[in-house]
Structure 1
Amino acid sequence: MSRGFVKEEDQEEIPMVPPRADLPVGAVNYVTKNGFNKLLEERQKLQNEKESLPNDNEKERRITSNLINAKLQLLNERISSAKMVNLEEQPKNEVRFGATVSLLIDSAKTDQEFQIVGVDEANIAENKISFLSPIARILISKKVGDTAILNLGKVERLFKITNISYSN
């Protein structure tokens, strides 16, 4: 049947799904074990949500199901491209993916601690930064005692590494 003969209210909009965290084309999707487990938990939650949709309004059920399916598709692509990094195999004296790094920033008297994680796991409120972030990039390969400089236009931020550890 031609779309011209379908009632306007029967036409469904394509669901707008918010994109996942940016992973540039060609970048490896590194994840920690915790990050990978969170992706699997997210998938299970979406599958459970889809299975428990109410049956009272078929149109609403179909729209919500389409939205969940779109989210699942993006999530499954991220899961299938994930490359889990074993933190126990990382060099203990050097900043690499998965490291928890203690830093003195500029002239601060107390350390701040950040873990370098995958793009989906990054959450600044939890002190987890993406391995693609500018701060992580300047810290990679540094050792305890090293100073990394981040240029922010006319301002330079100094990051002195005071400790490096790895734990899931």
Structure 2
Amino acid sequence: MTPRPIGMRLTLLAATALLAVTLAGCGDEEPTTMADDAPAALSRDDLDGRAFSSVRVDGHQLVGDTRVRLGFSGEEVRAEAGCNHLFGTVAIDGGTLTASNMGGTEMGCPNGLHDQDSWLAAFLSAGPEAVLVDDTLTLSKDGVVIELVELDLPDAPTGDPDEPRSDDDGSVVSSG
């Protein structure tokens, strides 16, 4: 074995010491977990003024050509599943969305639509887990997953509804 110069031994010793100090410093950090990357907790404010329509429902078969629609305004949730208009009070706690005081219109709904309205009201009242990522709201509970995307809502009309309105050329379009 050939002897190494002292400078080379000193460099290796210094590099080893530096590596040991660096690795020891890493132990002071909190471990990173999946929860660190999780989205912030959902709040009612995140949903206020927004409306969503289902693009996927797993674990429950919807009546053909129907969708689940949800709209949020303050503490109020509005829902549709193909026939009646449902409404209630919404609360969000720890990622769980719960609708209470559910009511709705009472139109006669053919072809299982009344049962679908009842199913949706029960699902929302049961407290599904709610996750909002960008414009997609996902609700899940007991093997049922409803994935909804945000709808573009037109701006509410402004002005006095009893005043006549006109188009760009000044002609009256409607009054009230």
TM-score (norm 2): 0.21
More strand by share: 2
Higher normalized contact order (CA 8 Å, seq sep 6+, divided by chain length): 1
More helix by share: 1
TM-score (norm 1): 0.22
